[in-house]
Amino acid sequence: MQERCKVPRYSVKRGNTFSENITMSTLTIRIADDIKQQLDVLADATGQSKSFLIVEAIRGRVKQEAWQVAEIRQAIQEADVGDFAAENEVLQVRSRWLGNEG
C-alpha cells in the first residue's frame, strides 16, 4: 500500500486565501534579498503563496522553540528539587555516545 503524504494544516486556494475560517493578522517584516528570491522560487515551484510558506515556516519554528523552552523549564524544575542523574547513569550515557558500551 502506498504511503500517503501529510497535508498541511492550512491548505491554500487562490493566492493568499486560507481554506479554513481562521482569524489572520498582518505582520510586516524585512528579509534579505536572497531569502526573498528563494521564497519566490519556492512559491512558484510549489504553487503555494509566499504568505502560506512563511506562515508554515514560522509555525514550525514557534513549535520547535516552544518545545525547547518547555524542556528547559522542566529541567530547571528538576534541578531545583535536586533531581540529577546519578554518576553511573551519566557514565552509561557517555559510553553509549562514545561507542564503548558492551
Q: Render pLDDT for 1-48 as a digit per residue (tens, 0 to 9).
A: 445 544 444 444 444 455 567 888 899 999 999 999 999 999 999 999
pTM of the model: 0.62
DSSP state of 99: T
Q: Which amino acid is at 77?
A: Q
Residue 4 lies in a domain: no
Residues 6+ apart with CB under 8 A from 50: 39, 40, 43
pLDDT-wise least confident of 31-35, 61-65, 68-72, 84-88: 84-88
pLDDT at 7: 43
Whether residue 1 lies inside any domain: the answer is: no
Q: Which domain holds residue 37?
A: 12-98
Residue 92, helix vs strand vs coil: helix
Total domains present in the chain = 1
